[in-house]
Amino acid sequence: MNRRGLLPAAGALCAALALGLTACGAGDDAGGDACGDGFLPAGEQARAPALPFEEHTLSPFEMRTLRYAEDLLVRDCMRAHGMDWEVLPAPDEDTTDPPHRRRYGVIEARMAERYGYGPVPRSADEVLL
């Protein structure tokens, strides 16, 4: 290839490179699916993976509900013997995280910002599970 053919080819290559880099640049946050950090948001299947053995186990909400029912029975028994028993509040399903939310690591930027990449501190209620 001679110099006359090389110059237009180099110009076309530079133009294609500039166009490609512009397309990969940061876009506006007004309506895309990007999180603003260059990653797509984690989908529902990633936040709450469904595992095969789950149909044979109790969810955290169901475990808390059973503990609450046990607490009510203990209260009734203690009252029958003239003693007081403080019943803990009933569980709220809305505040229960999916059981395997971080099974495969941190997948949500919000969780990493709040807790880092280590394990999330467990509440006293979760320790009893």
What's the pLDDT tens digit per position in 71-99? Answer: 999 999 999 999 999 998 887 766 666 66
Q: Is residue 126 part of a domain?
A: yes
Q: ∠ at Cα 127 (122, 129), nearest 5°? A: 125
46 neighbors 107 (Cβ within 8 angstroms): yes
Does position 30 have pLDDT exceeding 60, yes or no?
no
Q: Is residue 37 part of a domain?
A: no
pLDDT at position 68: 92
Q: Which two tokens stand for residue 99?
A: 């059981």
Q: Which two tokens stand for residue 92?
A: 């709220």
Q: Is residue 39 part of a domain?
A: no
Q: Is residue 123 part of a domain?
A: yes
Number of domains present in the structure of the chain: 1
95 lies in which domain range? 50-129
Please give the Cα distance from 125 to 89 (Å, whole number).
11
Q: Is residue 15 part of a domain?
A: no
Count CB atoms within 10 A of the CB of residue 62.
13
Q: Is residue 2 part of a domain?
A: no
Q: Is residue 129 part of a domain?
A: yes
- Mean pLDDT across the chain, nearest whole number? 72
